[in-house]
Amino acid sequence: MKIPIKPELVEICKEIRDKGFSEYQWAEIESCDMFQSDSFVGGYDADENEFCFSYYDQNGNEYWFQFNLKLALEMASEIKSEISGKNAE
């Protein structure tokens, strides 16, 4: 499943970028729901060493995806237009 990088996800990634935290610092404050918008809910997971998110499409279907700090910075710069995800289990 390809998940679109909507403006609301770009804004979340800009917030991640603007905090300026290292992966170690993100791990210290990990939270599964630190970031929330209409379509996206997630946060940093220290076990995965990545940001883990749920995406809800217009029909309410849930998809999971995750990305590392480097990719978050790329999405904040709107370099990518989509990211791979999978159906929520």
Total-model pTM: 0.91
pLDDT digits (tens, 9 = 90+) for 25-38: 999 999 999 999 99
pLDDT for residue 25: 96
Query: Contact 54/63 with Cβ under 8 angstroms?
Result: yes
| pLDDT attached to residue 51 | 97
Q: Does position 4 have pLDDT exceeding 90, yes or no?
A: no
- Please determine, for residue 89, whether its predicted confidence score (pLDDT) is greater than 90: no
Phi, psi values for residue 27, rounded to 5°: -65, -35
The arithmetic mean of pLDDT across residues 44-69, rounded, is 95
pLDDT of residue 28: 95
